[in-house]
């Protein structure tokens, strides 16, 4: 089986992402990267937890004054749903239906953009209230952690979009199937990080 | 990462079986997703009620987050499939180092 081979639905491998050696290596290497990302985010979480509510004067807003349930809830639901839509995309990839995969990826990208729009709104709102990157150690730690996640979302969106555009006229092959698969793994990882952000930063922040 | 190849004399029959298997797996993914949404709802509802003690809420929502992440890793990211031993080593090493970092910053770092 070589990368350029043309497949029918019946000959398309059951696990196209690891059918070639390149795909296998990509898959393994990507998980090594995710292990490193885990450490990166853990240190940002650790910094945030150590610096939470450390503000220079008592008049400044703390976590429980800033965070609001409705916005965090909406962002969480959007990102969780986008995780499922990318699972649907990979389901269609395994069935060799390229157009359906592209359609589900487009939905994933749109959900990702709406998540990002809400995050931009949230940050703008906080800055307006006087909670900025430079206002306190708490502010720096908060924007670094949540902003890093937002940057990952942005990168994931660019990644999906470039794969979708680059391969729009090519259709599926063993050359690009691992690429789509790895991008969807990245997207799930972003969701994993968000689960901890909404729990540790927002919900625990609101509880006090 | 097991790479199952078609070894049937009739590839179309094999295709039908594989499609059914994929559809079955997708059904499991949707169930996983609904459970994740359910856990999220519990976590948010507990915080929204504002009556429960924080010493009860915090451990429970952390536990719900851990369960959600396990679902995400093992179902959405396929770690439950065969051949993920090396991958498990990578991600658990990352988690161990990460957990120690968080522990250190919460205990022996003070400001």
DSSP for A75-111?
HHHHHHHHHHHHHHHHHHHHTT-HHHHHHHHHHHHHH
Q: Which two tokens stand for residue A58?
A: 């008592």
pLDDT exceeds cutoff 80 at A150: yes
A90-110 pLDDT per residue, tens: 999 999 999 999 999 999 999
Whether A71 has its CB under 8 Å from any CB of chain B: the answer is no
The pLDDT of residue B9 is 57
Q: State ipTM.
A: 0.89
Contacts A200 to B, Cβ<8 Å = 62, 65
pLDDT band with cut points at 50, 70 and 90 for residue A56: very high
Helix (H) or strand (E) holding A28: helix A21-51
What does the pLDDT look like over B5-48, one tens digit per residue? Answer: 555 556 666 888 889 999 999 999 999 999 999 999 999 999 99
User: Is residue A3 scored above 80 in pLDDT?
Assistant: no
Over residues A167-176, the pLDDT tens digits come to 999 999 999 9
Is some CB atom of chain B closer than 8 A to the CB atom of A73?
Answer: yes
The separation between the first and the last C-alpha atoms of chain B, rounded to the nearest angstrom, is: 46
Min Cα separation A68/chain B (Å): 10
Q: Is the pLDDT of residue A50 over 70?
A: yes
Chain B residue numbers with beta carbons less than 8 Å from the beta carbon of A38 are: 91, 94-95, 97-98
Contacts of B92 (CB under 8 A, 6+ apart): none
Nearest CA to CA, how far is A17 from chain B (Å)?
9
Under CATH, to which class is A26-207 assigned?
A: mainly alpha
Residue spans of the domains in chain A: they are 26-207
Give CA–CA dist B111/A103, Å, rounded. Answer: 50
Please list the alpha-helical segments (H only) found in chain B: 11-49, 54-71, 85-107
Token pair for residue B6? 């078609």
Tell me the mean pLDDT in the region A128-137.
Answer: 95
Q: What is the dihedral of CA A21, A27, A30, A34, to 10 degrees?
A: -150
How many CB pairs below 8 Å do chains A and B form together?
A: 150
- The first and second tokens of residue B66, run together, are 């851990």
Lowest mean pLDDT among A6-10, A138-142, A171-175: A6-10
| A55 part of contact set with chain B, CB < 8 Å | no
Could you tell me the pLDDT band of residue B1, with boundaries at 50, 70 and 90?
very low
Q: How many CB atoms lie within 10 A of CB A116?
A: 18
């Amino acid at each position: 089986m070589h990368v350029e081979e043309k497949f029918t639905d019946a000959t398309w491998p059951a696990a196209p992402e690891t059918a070639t050696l390149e795909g296998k290596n990509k898959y393994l290497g990507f998980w090594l990267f995710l292990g490193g990302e885990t450490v990166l985010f853990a240190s940002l979480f650790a910094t945030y937890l150590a610096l939470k509510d450390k503000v220079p004067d008592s008049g400044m807003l703390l976590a429980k004054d800033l965070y609001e349930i409705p916005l965090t809830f909406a962002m969480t639901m959007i990102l969780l749903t986008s995780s499922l839509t990318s699972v649907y995309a990979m389901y269609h990839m395994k069935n060799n239906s390229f157009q359906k995969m592209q359609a589900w990826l487009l939905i994933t990208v749109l959900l990702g953009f709406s998540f990002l729009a809400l995050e931009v709104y949230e940050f703008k709102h906080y800055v307006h209230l006087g909670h900025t990157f430079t206002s306190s150690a708490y502010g720096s730690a908060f924007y670094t952690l949540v902003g890093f996640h937002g940057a990952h979302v942005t990168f994931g969106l660019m990644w999906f979009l470039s794969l979708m555009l680059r391969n729009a006229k090519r259709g599926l092959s063993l050359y690009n199937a691992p690429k789509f698969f790895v991008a969807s793994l990245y997207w799930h990882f972003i969701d994993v990080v968000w689960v901890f952000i909404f729990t540790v930063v927002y919900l625990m922040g609101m509880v006090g | 990462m097991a790479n199952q190849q078609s070894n049937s004399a009739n590839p179309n029959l094999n295709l039908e079986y594989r499609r059914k298997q994929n559809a079955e797996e997708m059904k499991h993914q949707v169930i996983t997703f609904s459970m994740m949404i359910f856990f999220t709802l519990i976590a948010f509802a507990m915080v929204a009620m504002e009556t429960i003690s924080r010493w009860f809420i915090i451990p429970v929502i952390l536990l719900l987050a851990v369960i959600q992440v396990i679902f995400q890793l093992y179902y959405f990211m396929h770690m439950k499939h065969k051949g993920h031993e090396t991958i498990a080593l990578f991600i658990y090493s990352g988690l161990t180092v990460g957990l120690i970092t968080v522990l250190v910053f919460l205990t022996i770092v003070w400001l």
